[in-house]
Amino acid sequence: MRNIEEETKSRTITNEAIKRAITRSGYLIEQRVAEKLVMMGYYVDLNPTFFDKVTSKTREVDISADSTYRSPQSSEGFITGAHWKIVCECENNSQPIVFFPYEVDNPSERYLLIKYFGVPIKAWKEEQDVDILTFLGLRQFHHYCEGEIATQYCSFAKGKQGIDWIATHAEEQHETFDKLVAAIHYELEEFCKDWDLPEHDNEEPMYLEFKYPLIVLGGNLIAARLGKRGIKLKKARHIRYWKTAYINGEEENYIIDVITEDYLGEYVSIIDKEMKKVRRLLISRKKIVKDSIIRILKEARASESPTETYRQLICPPAVRR
């Protein structure tokens, strides 16, 4: 009997072992990041689920955090709104993750990789229409459009003999990037399927939502650059990663911010500043924005399939294909 009790006890994890296992996992960093985002005024949803078309499975991301700025309602009843959402994965990486950033020509063109949806997604001025990102001039102030970009990364594992380290394209990180892309694409598609045309002659208030895919690391983030004397390694706190994915057989490109946990406050300040600028621009150009919405509504209502046409007119190109 005593031997059975000892065997049973040895198979039961101790409290200390539980604490060590949790500390090594990503659960604690996820909780810390969520708490900090709440303190900074975000509405936080932990572990929201989505349907991944690529894997045909229901999956979840760690954190979805959103915040909204709205201007005061005008005498015409028109509300200017800009809404943004951080879609976040947290990883307590035990080994450094190394990215290989480099300078590119025309970094300002990266504004085209901003993910967004809403009404209107294009604006007309003097019979010329442009996408809303160009209309707002995001290429001039969005953080995607400055500095270096990385398209490669690696982490490290022991070789087969357990002697030397090897650089590896870790499946864990690859899965994390793919999941963020799938989650955001899902939200864009759901918006396009569910947004209804206002009844009769009702107006549509302006609503734009911008997506910020983000990975927060609990361990080291390193930038590797090739210099004249070989590889130079430097600790980093924020790196922009260009992710190319194939969804429904079509190529899509995303920029994913990768940051260390201690950089979260500064990162939120960056996007907060960007969105305040967007808000000010929308307010100052309110008449053009309102006229553009009216134009979209008229075009949809004049078509044979008003609701379907309306959803096509307000959906971003990647989802509209």
pLDDT digits (tens, 9 = 90+) for 138-184: 999 999 999 899 999 988 887 776 678 887 876 777 888 999 999 99
Summarised one tens digit per residue, pLDDT across range 213-247 is 999 999 999 999 988 888 899 999 999 999 998 87
CB 221 within 8 A of CB 34: no
Mean pLDDT over each residue of the chain, to the nearest integer: 84
Of 180, 182, 197, residue with least CA distance to 315: 197
Residues with Cβ within 8 Å of residue 42, at least 6 apart in sequence: 65, 66, 67, 86
Mean pLDDT of the 101-116 span: 90
Q: What percent of the chain has pLDDT over 90?
A: 43
Question: What pLDDT was estimated at residue 100?
Answer: 94
Q: Is the dihedral of CA 43, 46, 47, 49 positive or negative?
A: negative
Question: What pLDDT was estimated at residue 77?
Answer: 40
Tokens (6 digits) for 224: 């590797």
In three-state secondary structure terms, 92 is: coil
Bond into 120 cis (ω within 30)? yes
User: What is the reported pTM?
Assistant: 0.87
Task: Tell me whether strands 97-102 and 221-227 are parallel, antiparallel or unpaired.
Answer: parallel
